[in-house]
Each structure stands twice: as C-alpha cells, then as structure tokens.
Amino acid sequence: MKRPWGVLSAGIFLVALAILAIVSTILPALIPLLWVLPLTIVIFGFWLIILAFIKKALKTTVYEAPPLMVGGWGILLIGVGMLWLYPSMWILILAILILVIGLIAIIYSFVKKP
C-alpha cells in the first residue's frame, strides 16, 4: 500500500512555517523574521531524516523513494538552511556538507545490491 508521505511532509512544512512565523511575530527578539524560512528548511530537513528511518522500518514499496534518498535530501536541506542562516561560515558548512554527501555515497555503495 502506498502511503501519503507527500501530504504528511507538506503539512509538517506548513505547520513549522506557521509556528515559526507566529513566534517571530510575537517575540521578534527570539526569532528574527529573516530567520523564519531558513529555520523552516532546517526543520523540514530533520523531518526528512526522521521519515527516512520510518520508511526503512516500514519497508517501502517498489514505487516509493528509497529511504537513503529521502535522508540524503534531508541532509542537503539542513545544509542549505544552515548556509542561509550563517553565511559568514559558508566554507565550513560547505565542507561538512561535502563530507556528509561523500560518506552517504560510500555507505550507499555498500548497501546497494548489484
């Protein structure tokens, strides 16, 4: 049975965006308005990593995206959000992102069945 992960993920993205926007409006000293979208992207990236573990435990069907790909997108979104939040540390964040992507490629080469 195909599960509606897309609808759930869209809902989580919208809820995170709405909560951060509300907190930013009520307490601008806590979360500046310019941080709302990057923080939403980072939170959504963490959700995708959690979703990858859920999909791994539930054994995805043939037509669903594999858990490794979903987790990889989560890591990529976390990196993009962090680059947006901390542009002065871009070289460090980019180096860590390249390292993580390289490690994922190595792990994928051992996990993938020929």
pTM score, whole prediction: 0.81
Who's near 51: CB < 8 A, 6+ residues apart?
5, 9, 70, 74
Tokens of 28: 């601008």
Residue 37's pLDDT band (cuts 50, 70, 90):
very high
The whole domain housing 77 covers 5-111
Residue 113's pLDDT band (cuts 50, 70, 90):
low
Please count the structural domains in the chain. 1
User: Looking at the predicted structure, is the pLDDT value of residue 12 above 90?
Assistant: yes
